[in-house]
Amino acid sequence: MISVCKAEQGIPYTLTCRALGVSESWFYKWRNRPVTAREVRRGKLADAIRQIFDESGGTYGSPKVWITLVRQGWRVSVNTVARLMAELGLAGREIRRRRGLTRPGKRPAFADFVRRDFSATAPDQVWAGDMTEIVTSEGKLYLATVIDLFSRRLLGYAMGERHDAELVVASLHMAAATRGGDVRGVIFHSDRGSEGGFNWSSQHFDLGGVRRGHGGLEFEDQRCSGGSASAVAR
């Protein structure tokens, strides 16, 4: 901060040190110390964040920047990305309200294994899926997410230009990989609908034993997972 004040505002080191309550000798000692590996990584991460933000036209918030970083191979938490973006003064522009994608399907629904009860008592009992439409300046994108209803942890996600079954299956594959591949006994719950590919055929569920389950298109269904995609989208 002291160096930034000098470089950007021309404020002498003496005044800034005095305002912060630190000695000049401490500042010079700190400035001349060897750069740590952590600081080097932090600088590279900040550069990557700034590049992703600029390439999005200033529309990406921290969750979407984080998703892009993960795809690029970075191992970093979304909270760290949010903190760095705040320090860099980067804030994504507000996007238009997203349209709900789920419509009641015409085909018979699968059994409702959760029976309107979304209170899982342990991890990997029930997963919930959600699909969200994101309107950008370059067109529409669709985000499919999978969360664990016990921990509320985001296990898998996929983004694409089409809201079909394959997009959600991709998010399920990521969720299964997150849990080590063997997820036998897990129930996957989604709203019953035809848009977004929610009326899938059984071959889509060869994911180590995930059972398919659908409930009616009611408020509880939207509540159990709807926040996950919305949070990532922002």
Kindly report the pTM of this predicted structure.
0.43
- Cα within 13 Å of Cα(176), Cβ side: 21
Q: What is the 3-state secondary structure (H, E, C) of 45-91?
A: HHHHHHHHHHHCCCCCCHHHHHHHHHHCCCCCCHHHHHHHHHHHCCC
* Domains observed in the chain: 2-88 (no CATH), 126-233 (3.30.420.10)
Average pLDDT over residues 9-26: 67
Q: Which of 6, 87, 4, 94 is nearest to 45 (CA)?
A: 87
Whether 226 has a pLDDT exceeding 50, the answer reads no
Whether 209 has a pLDDT exceeding 60, the answer reads no
For residue 127, the model assigns a pLDDT of 83
| Digit-coded pLDDT (tens) for 84-126 | 888 888 876 655 544 544 444 444 444 444 444 556 778 888 8
| Digit-coded pLDDT (tens) for 40-84 | 898 899 999 999 999 988 888 888 899 899 888 898 888 888 888
Which of the given ranges, 87-96, 169-178, 217-226, has the highest pLDDT on average? 169-178
Q: Which of 185, 154, 187, 149 is nearest to 171 (CA)?
A: 154
Average pLDDT in the chain: 69
For residue 194, the model assigns a pLDDT of 39
